[in-house]
Amino acid sequence: MQTISRLDTLRVAVAALKNGGKPGNANADGPRTVALVPTMGALHDGHIALVRAAKARADHVVVSIFVNPLQFGPNEDLDAYPRQLEADARLLRAAGADLLWAPTVEQMYPAGFATTVSVGGLDAMLCGTARPGHFDGVATVVTKLFNQVQPDMAFFGEKDWQQLAIIRRCARDLDLAHPRAEAIIGVPTVREADGLAMSSRNKYLSADQRIAAGALNRGMAGAIDRIVRGEDAGPVLADLREQLRDAGFHKVDYADLRDAETLVELARHDVGRPARLLVAAHIGKARLLDNMAVEPVFTAQG
């Protein structure tokens, strides 16, 4: 696996992957497919699941690692965000990635950089309210990554459901030819043994906070159970907020029932309309995100 931090070198290396290592367009079976897995590093099993999903669909996998300053607010954790390029590269090599694209900030945003991408509507709710400008930063860097790598498809975790919806909208609206919206593939959230969604920010939790954080997914599963049985979302979500506060979360930014695609808020579950329960809540120094499909959970007993 090659690690590349210059754009001109990246373009040559991606062209070689597409041509099966041959010069020009000399690959007899046509160009090979390339998948992109954008990340900010500090990789965990959730990221490795993205690489595996990408390997299952494409001939070659390019992973990007870039801690994107544009998506951090002034009082957020840009400086503290874990950076461990060597360790990440070892994990990616073991997972079978073909190329690691690790641009510098100067390479991504040269002096005078002045253009941003903004996905209206979807960015003005949920995390967009608590983190103004965050999704402009995400949409801008993801658009740049697509243009730089020119992948045939790209893989993102479902853990950040709003981000996934925004990236799909952006790819559709801007005719990002590679990849189109349908080539943006969401991969189910990977969870710890107690059900906590894996996140690079889980590193900020103390041992006690880590145990308490397990209340998030348990509370969400309980709320979904009540909502699919027909209870109105309002009182169920009020109970969920209270449970989270009792467990040690000091602030709940949102705990909402939303349409899975448009993210419009829903008052109750409507069979046949895909919905998600989305939560963002603070514990210790971490702001944890989670979301789950709102559908009946079938156990082995039925």
Known catalytic residues are 47
DSSP conformation class of 243: H
Distant-in-sequence contacts of 69-72, Cβ < 8 A, 24+ apart: 69/105, 69/109, 69/137, 70/109, 70/116, 70/133, 70/136, 70/137, 70/140, 70/141, 71/133, 71/134, 71/135, 71/136, 71/137, 71/138, 71/141, 72/134, 72/137
Min CB(105)–ligand PAF separation in Å: 12
Using CB under 6 A as the binding rule, whether residue 142 contacts ligand PAF is answered as yes
Residues 56-95 binding ligand PAF (CB under 6 A) are 68, 71
Please select the residue that binds ligand PAF; options are 35, 61, 126, 138, rule is CB under 6 A.
Answer: 138
User: Are the beta carbons of 216 and 249 closer than 8 angstroms?
Assistant: yes
Burial 83-92 (b: 16+ CB within 10 A, else e): eeeeebbebb
Distance between CA atoms of residues 284 and 211, nearest Å: 12
| Window contacting ligand PAF (CB under 6 A); options: 103-111, 137-145, 189-197, 211-219 | 137-145
| Window contacting ligand PAF (CB under 6 A); options: 19-27, 100-108, 134-142, 285-293 | 134-142
Task: Give the residue with the Cβ less far from ligand PAF, 89 or 141.
Answer: 141
Number of residues counted as binding ligand PAF (CB under 6 A): 10
Using CB under 6 A as the binding rule, whether residue 164 contacts ligand PAF is answered as no
Min CB(278)–ligand PAF separation in Å: 15
Burial 204-223 (b: 16+ CB within 10 A, else e): bbeeebbebbebbbebbeeb
Please select the residue that binds ligand PAF; options are 136, 160, 256, 290, rule is CB under 6 A.
Answer: 160
Min CB(164)–ligand PAF separation in Å: 9
Using CB under 6 A as the binding rule, whether residue 165 contacts ligand PAF is answered as no
Residues 34-53 binding ligand PAF (CB under 6 A) are 38-40
Applying CB under 6 A, the residues found at the interface with ligand PAF are 38-40, 68, 71, 138, 141-142, 160, 163
